[in-house]
Structure 1
Amino acid sequence: MHWHYAQEKRQGILDNLLIFGGTFDPIHQGHLNVAENIQKHFRFQRFIFLPCKLPVHKEKATANSTQRIEMLKLALADYPGCRFEIDDCEIRRQSPSYMVTTLESYRKDLGMDISITLLMGMDSFYQLPLWHRWTRILELANLLVIKRPDISLPVEDNVLETLSGHVTDREEDLKNNAQGIIYFFDAGSYPISSTEIRRNSLQNSEAIPEAVLMYITENKLYS
């Protein structure tokens, strides 16, 4: 499935990558600003946007899979130097989008010695115990968690206490370890959500890349 990554690994030119999963319905400046800040800071060899087909913990997507991927392509075209790319493996999978399944697929193709980091927000981190086979995730990947000092969420099943042994304050540990590391990072924030954009894309037009906004308008999405 990820033959080109596996080929790069065999050639010795790929030893780390980051996965940014989400519905991206639609992609907006909040996603892009965080992604750009992270990539400028960490310089992952591959920064992979992973749109999911059937989100388990979130509301059903409004735009269809093809439209969401097209909007991602339009948005990422503005960042040629960031090594951003799209993996549609979850879109093609005929089952719910379980991150653990995707990570197992990556490991099957790439082995266990390459560093794989999963990017998530603080809200998703707090809800990690609700994820399918969640304890397996840290056996397959590191977690790069975006700090959210402006929110306070209940901790499900004492997740912070449970995972405290995996937390590091050294960012280099993400690339020096193939899996099992949690690092919290302040990538900045952008006060907008995809939900707000779906409710009124024109009112929130400044939060949407111009090419994506044109696509939304032409295809009458979120109206």
Structure 2
Amino acid sequence: MRIAVLGGAFDPIHNGHLQIAKQAVKQLRIDEVWFMPSAATPLKQEQAASFQDRAAMISLAIAPYRHMKLCTLEQELEGVSYTIRTVKTLFQRYPQHSFCWLIGDDQALQFDRWKSSDELKQLLPFYVFTRDEQDISLPDGLHRVHMQLLAVSSSEIRQGQKLYQVPDRVRDYMGAHGLYLERMVRQRMSEKRFLHSQSVAALCVQLARAHQLDCRVAYLMGITHDVCKQLPYAQAEAWMRSHMPNSLQEAPAIWHGYIGADYINKVFHIHDRRILQAVYHHVKGRNRTDYDRILFIADKLDPSRGYDSSREIAISMRSLKEGYRIVKEQQEAYLKKEGSCKKIRSLYMEELVRIVQKAVDEKKESVRCCMIFVN
């Protein structure tokens, strides 16, 4: 068979990779495309996801396509994933097949830096997939294949951009395992808010561990709970009006919990109901599950807030229900006090407006009298 190898980090795989594989089968008359995830790429920084996770995502992405296979050869080869070594190993293991190698234009521009690049060009053909409108200069010996490449990169995906270019099965895997989640969350809030989210997630994990609960669930709900906290008011109102109109009358300060749960479900593909319910109720609190209690406690007692919450944290480590009760009482006392302060401020503002308006009216009357006198 004629095999095309598509190598790379695939961190993560996206529709652009699948498009290249489809075009290779169509234009180069390839029998199969083997996706070859690298164990350690020489010219790239360390991968964000593990080899196991990247291989699993490839398997999910290519499952519908009978001409696409996963090859984990580079995991078996120790050390850095040099293509020259991989190619020679393929020739030894599969002498019945003929091979070619598929690369993108970014890889082609670095090809002369590859180990034994001249020897590689003698061993097998390299096909470079470039956009139709591009005419970049390729190193000698590489063959160009024009196509309409999708404008997407794995680095964009890791930042939470263009997630629609990731197959749903892969997005579900990313959401279930929390892959790239901190990067995605960080892009959607200020540094101060992100540090708070990290601190809440850490406390959630501590509480979960103390009560023999799922630390992964605890971390995911902690790191994502404020993902929509800084959503502009107009966008937040539009989201509430479109998706949760029955809760629109509640205070806008509460909305980010409702929107956040909906957002991480639809955008981050986090579908675990324990996480979604905890995020949804974390502002007002809900004393129904241990995960509800953990997130409510951790958000209110976050050590990064700058006040001493060690006593309440210690109590929560022993009993989530008792910790929740104490924190809820503190919240209600604060809101009651804050409500009284707001009422006083409101009365003060009303009186101030009355005084100002009286002064304006008196000035108007004085001016009117002067005009009468002059006339």
* Coarse TM-score class (shorter-chain normalised): 0.7 to 0.9
Find the partner of 1:198 among 158, 168, 174. 158
Find the partner of 2:16 among 22, 30, 45. 30
State the Cα distance separating 1:107 from its structure 2 match: 1.8
- Specify which structure has the bigger relative contact order, considering alpha-carbon pairs within 8 angstroms and separated by 6 or more residues: 1
Name the residue aligned to 2:114: 131
Structure 2 unaligned blocks of 5 or more:
182-375
Following the alignment from structure 2 to structure 1, what is the Cα–Cα distance between the partners of residues 98 and 147? Answer: 20
Q: Spell out, residue by residue over 1:171-223, the C-alpha distance to the aligned partner (whole angstroms, 9 max, x if none).
A: xxxxxxxxxxx4211132111100000011xx422111001001101100101
Kindly provide the amino acid, as one letter, of the partner of residue 64 in structure 2. D
Kindly provide the amino acid, as one letter, of the partner of residue 61 in structure 1. Q
Kindly provide the amino acid, as one letter, of the partner of residue 129 in structure 2. I
Aligned partner of residue 7 in structure 2, secondary structure: strand
Following the alignment from structure 1 to structure 2, what is the Cα–Cα distance between the partners of residues 137 and 37? Answer: 23
Structure 1 unaligned blocks of 5 or more:
1-13, 167-181
Aligned partner of residue 218 in structure 1, secondary structure: helix
Please tell me whether the aligned partners of residues 147 and 186 of structure 1 are also in contact (alpha carbons under 8 angstroms). Answer: yes
Q: From the two aligned structures, give the one with the greater helix fraction.
A: 2
Alignment size in residue pairs: 181
Please tell me whether the aligned partners of residues 132 and 147 of structure 2 are also in contact (alpha carbons under 8 angstroms). Answer: no
Find the partner of 1:122 among 99, 102, 105. 105
1:59 aligns with 2:19: no
State the Cα distance separating 1:124 from its structure 2 match: 1.2
State the Cα distance separating 1:40 from its structure 2 match: 2.4
| Deviation beyond 6 Å, 4+ runs, structure 1 | none
Give the TM-score of the pair, scaled to structure 2.
Answer: 0.46
Which stretch shifts more, 39-48 or 90-99? 39-48
Q: From the two aligned structures, give the one with the greater strand fraction.
A: 1
Following the alignment from structure 1 to structure 2, what is the Cα–Cα distance between the partners of residues 109 and 67? Answer: 25
1:212 aligns with 2:170: yes
Aligned partner of residue 186 in structure 1, secondary structure: strand
1:84 aligns with 2:68: yes
Structure index of larger Rg = 2
Name the residue aligned to 2:126: 143
Which stretch shifts more, 144-153 or 65-74? 144-153
State the Cα distance separating 1:101 from its structure 2 match: 0.2
Please tell me whether the aligned partners of residues 107 and 140 of structure 1 are also in contact (alpha carbons under 8 angstroms). Answer: no
Please tell me whether the aligned partners of residues 132 and 148 of structure 2 are also in contact (alpha carbons under 8 angstroms). Answer: no
Following the alignment from structure 2 to structure 1, what is the Cα–Cα distance between the partners of residues 94 and 173? Answer: 35
Following the alignment from structure 1 to structure 2, what is the Cα–Cα distance between the partners of residues 102 and 56? Answer: 13
Give the TM-score of the pair, scaled to structure 1.
Answer: 0.75
Please tell me whether the aligned partners of residues 3 and 34 of structure 2 are also in contact (alpha carbons under 8 angstroms). Answer: yes
Q: Considering only aligned residues, what root-mean-square deviation do their CA atoms show, in Å?
A: 2.0
Kindly provide the amino acid, as one letter, of the partner of residue 108 in structure 2. F
Aligned partner of residue 17 in structure 1, secondary structure: strand
Following the alignment from structure 2 to structure 1, what is the Cα–Cα distance between the partners of residues 27 and 108? Answer: 21
**Superposition pairs for residues 33-48 of structure 1, below 5 Å?**
33-48=19-34
Following the alignment from structure 2 to structure 1, what is the Cα–Cα distance between the partners of residues 174 and 97? Answer: 38
